Amino acid sequence: MARRKNKELMELAMDMGGEEAVEVIKALEKKGEATDEELAEVTEIRVNTVRKVLYMLYDQGLAEFKRIRDKETGWYYYYWHLDIKRLPEILRSKKMAELKKLKEMLEEETGEIYYWCGTPGHPKLTFDEAMEYEFQCPICGEMIMQYDNTQIVEELKRRIEELEIELGLKKKPGKRK
C-alpha cells in the first residue's frame, strides 16, 4: 500500500509541477523535515522553484510547515514536511473532475454530426458550420465529409467506465454482489 501511495503521490507531483516537484518531494521524503534552502541545495533546484512547489503542496494539503525564530538573528525559518493523509481525497477529487470532463466530451461527440476534410489540424465542423462554409474546409478549401468519430466515442466510453469502476461508482462487468 505504501508503494502505491508513493507512486500516486509522484504522479500527482508530476501533474502539479513536473520533474522539479517530484525531486522536491523525494528529497523531503528522504529528509523528513527540511527548510526550502536545504531542499534547494539537495535537489540543485533554484530556491524560488522549491518554494513554489512547497506552496503548491501546502495548498493541496500535502505539506505542512512549522515556523521557528532564530533567537540570535530574529529571522524565521520554515521547516517543511509531507503530510499525505489527504492524498486519497485529493486523488478522488481529481478523478471526479476528469470523469465530469470526459462525460461532457462524450455528450459533445455524440450530440453532433461533424464534418472534416481529413487534414490533421484542420477543424471539425458541426452540420450548421459545414453548411455555412458550403461543405468546404475553411482552411484548405477541400470538400468536407461526415467525420466518423466512432473510435473517439468508444475510447471516451471506455475511459469513463474505467474511472467509474476506480471510483466505486460502477461494478466491474461480470462481477456479482
pLDDT per position as a tens digit, 145-155: 999 999 999 99
Between 166 and 80, where is the model more confident? 80
For residue 111, the Cα-to-chain-centroid distance in whole angstroms is 26
Average pLDDT on 108-115 reads 91
131 in Cβ contact with 122 (< 8 Å): no
Strand order in the sheet with 114-116: 125-126, 114-116, 145-146
42-60, pLDDT tens digit by residue? 999 999 999 999 999 999 8
176 φ, ψ to 5°?
-105, 165
pLDDT tens figures, 159-170 = 999 999 988 888
Please state the rounded mean pLDDT for residues 129-156.
95
| Phi and psi, residue 15, nearest 5° | -65, -40
All three cell numbers of 173: 462487468
* Higher local confidence (pLDDT), 1 or 101: 101
Identify the band that residue 1 occupies on the pLDDT scale cut at 50, 70 and 90.
very low
pLDDT tens across 3-42, in order? 666 788 888 888 888 899 999 999 998 989 999 999 999 9
Buried b (16+ CB within 10 A) or exposed e, 128-149: eebeeeebebeeeeeebeebeb
Residues 6+ apart with CB under 8 A from 119: 137, 139, 140, 142
Question: pTM for the whole thing?
Answer: 0.66
Residues linked to residue 34 through DSSP beta bridges, in sequence order = 80
pLDDT (0 to 100) of residue 136 = 96
pLDDT score, position 175: 57
